[in-house]
Structure 1
Amino acid sequence: MAKKPENLTFEESLCELERIVSELEQGDVSLDDALKQFERGIKLVRTSQSKLEQAQQKVAILMTDNENDSLTPFAPEVE
């Protein structure tokens, strides 16, 4: 069974998305399987986007000039 998208690394998600796109582009997939793969792809995109946003926020915090600022844990938005 495939891992849940939130348990994959960003890189693993990208590799799986590439595989899904490749299989769908070939057109040898039944409609039901294509829909399942499309749904999985959407979940992978959403979790990957969330991971990117978290990374961007961390970089922005680290790049601030104010040395008196303290880092606080990031709380991602719940969808």
Structure 2
Amino acid sequence: MNNDAISFEEALARLEELVNRLEEGNLPLEESLKLFAEGISLTKKCNKHLEQAEKQISILLEDDQGQSVIREEEL
């Protein structure tokens, strides 16, 4: 699966599929390794999506002077 343009939700759903298949434990080693590698790639993609969302939230929570409107303690 090409996951270059995959959404966070799609990546997460695919990760769940991979985990379920790997947990079954009846796959050949080569296929297990292939699915594991895909899972690592999807995990990195999910992390990238989350980092981008965090940046957007930070921008939205800034006032005109660039100061945080809501401090982390308030969250």
**TM-score over 0.5 for the pair:** yes
Distance 1:43 1:12 in 2: 13
CA-to-partner distance for each residue in 1:4-59, whole Å, 9 max, x for gaps?
22211100000000000000000011000000000000000001101110110011
Q: Which residue of 2 aligns with 1:51?
A: 49
Query: Which one-letter code corresponds to 1:23 in the other structure?
Result: R
Distance 2:4 2:48 in 1: 10
Identity %: 36
* Count of residues in Structure 1 that have an aligned counterpart in Structure 2: 66
From 21, 25, 28, the counterpart of 2:26: 28
Distance 1:18 1:57 in 2: 26
Q: Which residue of 1 aligns with 2:36?
A: 38
3-state SS of the aligned residue for 2:44?
helix
CA positional deviation for 1:68: 5.3
Structure with larger RCO (C-alpha < 8 A, sep 6+): 1
Unmatched runs of 5 consecutive residues or more in structure 1: 70-79
Larger Rg: 2
Which runs of 4 or more aligned residues in structure 1 lie more than 3 Å from their structure 2 counterparts after TM superposition? none
